[in-house]
């Protein structure tokens, strides 16, 4: 049986989180760490109730201070790396865009890879309910990131991933500088430089039905600049 910890950052996901937790815990050997950023909609209290409902299988980290996806992942992944008996560490969104039924395919592929990406772009474009401008933005972002950073994955911005614990432990989490979605690119860039074997499995991504997107213009600007920062930093290291 695999020993898997799934780290999920949440901000205002009260309707989605209970469904996600049940979907993930349907798989034997899977545990979860929810990293809530003081969600004003009460997601943190719902996470605590799920923790009480599934003792030993759901942990909750309540963050205070400045919120951010990158910050949440850094703190959550550090805690995950310190937990005993964890072989694989997954990352996924809480908004049900990432179907938990793909988790076994991701963890199985980690037998022969250090990091496995759940990819929307392995077989054309596999997204459901995205307006055309969102598809253009995401496919353009991926082409741009690949061109600047020379990463070869088709979906460098996917937040659905599975890491072998030892590969994740080698990443310089303390040196990471991104706040938003660029954090995912930064992780992948550092993993590639470290010589990690990176592979992808196809997923169908379904746009959230409940709650709101947190994609702000500041986050998009950071994603535009970050590939160049990574390349320049990579050249210095």
Ligand X SMILES: Nc1nc2c(ncn2[C@@H]2O[C@H](COP(=O)(O)OP(=O)(O)OP(=O)(O)O)[C@@H](O)[C@H]2O)c(=O)[nH]1
13 binds, among ligand X, Mg ion, none (CB under 5 to 8 A by kind): ligand X
Q: Which of residues 133 and 237 has its CB atom nearest to Mg ion in the complex?
A: 133
Nearest residue (CB) to Mg ion, 13 versus 190:
13
Q: Tokens representing 174?
A: 């303390």
Q: Of 71, 75, 81, 40, whose CA–CA distance to 60 is shortest? A: 75
Q: How far is the CB of 27 from Mg ion (least distance, A)?
A: 21
Q: Output the residue with the shortest Cβ distance to Mg ion.
A: 95
Long-range contacts of 213-222 (CB under 8 A, 24+ apart): 214/11, 214/69, 215/181, 216/180, 218/180, 219/179, 219/180, 219/181, 219/182, 222/178, 222/179, 222/180, 222/181, 222/182
Write out the residues near Mg ion by the rule CB under 5 A: 93, 95, 97, 208
> Taking the chain, what is the end-to-end CA distance rounded to the nearest angstrom?
39
Q: Give me the least distance between CB of 104 and Mg ion, in Å please.
A: 22
Q: Which is nearer to Mg ion, 117 or 196 (CB)?
A: 117
Question: For ligand X, which is the closer residue by CB, 60 or 113?
Answer: 60
Binds 10: which of Mg ion, ligand X, none (CB < 5-8 Å by kind): ligand X
| Residue whose C-beta lies closest to ligand X | 213
- Cβ contacts of 97 within 8 Å, gap of 6 or more: 205, 206, 207, 208
86 to each of 2, 73, 79, how far by Cα in Å? 9, 17, 11
Closest CA to 85 of 148, 187, 5, 176: 5
Helix or strand or coil: residue 197? Answer: coil
Residue 60 Cβ, how far from ligand X at the closest point, in Å? 11
Measured from the CB atom, the residue of 113 and 158 that comes closer to Mg ion is: 158
Under 8 Å between Cβ of 122 and 201: yes
Nearest residue to 227 (alpha-carbon basis) of 125, 156, 133, 135: 156
Residue 94 touches which of Mg ion, ligand X, none (CB < 5 to 8 A by kind)? ligand X
Q: Which residues of this chain interact with ligand X, rule CB under 6 A?
A: 9-11, 13, 35, 37, 67-69, 72, 93-95, 97, 159, 207-208, 213-215
The distance of closest approach from Cβ of residue 208 to ligand X in the complex, given in angstroms and rounded to an integer, is 4
CB 111 to ligand X: min, Å: 27
- Report in angstroms how near the CB of residue 30 gets to Mg ion at its nearest: 21
User: Which does residue 11 touch among Mg ion, ligand X, none (CB within 5 to 8 A, set by kind)?
Assistant: ligand X
């Amino acid at each position: 049986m695999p020993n898997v910890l799934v780290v999920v950052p949440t901000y205002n996901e009260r309707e989605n989180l209970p469904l996600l937790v049940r979907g993930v815990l349907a798989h034997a050997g899977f545990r979860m760490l929810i990293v809530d950023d003081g969600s004003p909609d009460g997601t943190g209290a719902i996470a605590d109730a799920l923790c009480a409902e599934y003792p030993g299988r759901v942990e909750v980290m309540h963050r205070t201070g400045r919120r951010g996806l990158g910050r949440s992942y850094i703190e959550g992944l550090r805690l995950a790396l310190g937990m005993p008996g964890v072989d694989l560490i997954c990352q996924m969104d809480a908004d049900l865009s990432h179907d938990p039924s793909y988790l076994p395919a991701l963890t199985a592929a980690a037998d022969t890879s250090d990091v496995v990406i759940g990819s929307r772009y392995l077989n054309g474009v596999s997204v459901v309910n995205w307006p055309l401008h969102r598809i253009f933005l995401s496919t353009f972002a991926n082409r741009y990131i690949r061109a600047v950073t020379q990463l070869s994955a088709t979906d460098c911005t996917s937040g659905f991933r599975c890491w072998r614990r030892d590969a994740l432990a080698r990443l310089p989490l303390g040196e990471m500088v991104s706040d938003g979605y660029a954090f995912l690119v930064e992780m992948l860039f550092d993993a590639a430089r470290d010589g990690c074997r990176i592979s992808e499995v196809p997923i169908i991504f379904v746009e959230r039905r409940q709650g709101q997107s947190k994609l702000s213009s500041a986050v998009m600007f950071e994603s535009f600049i970050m590939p160049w920062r990574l390349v320049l930093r990579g050249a210095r290291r």
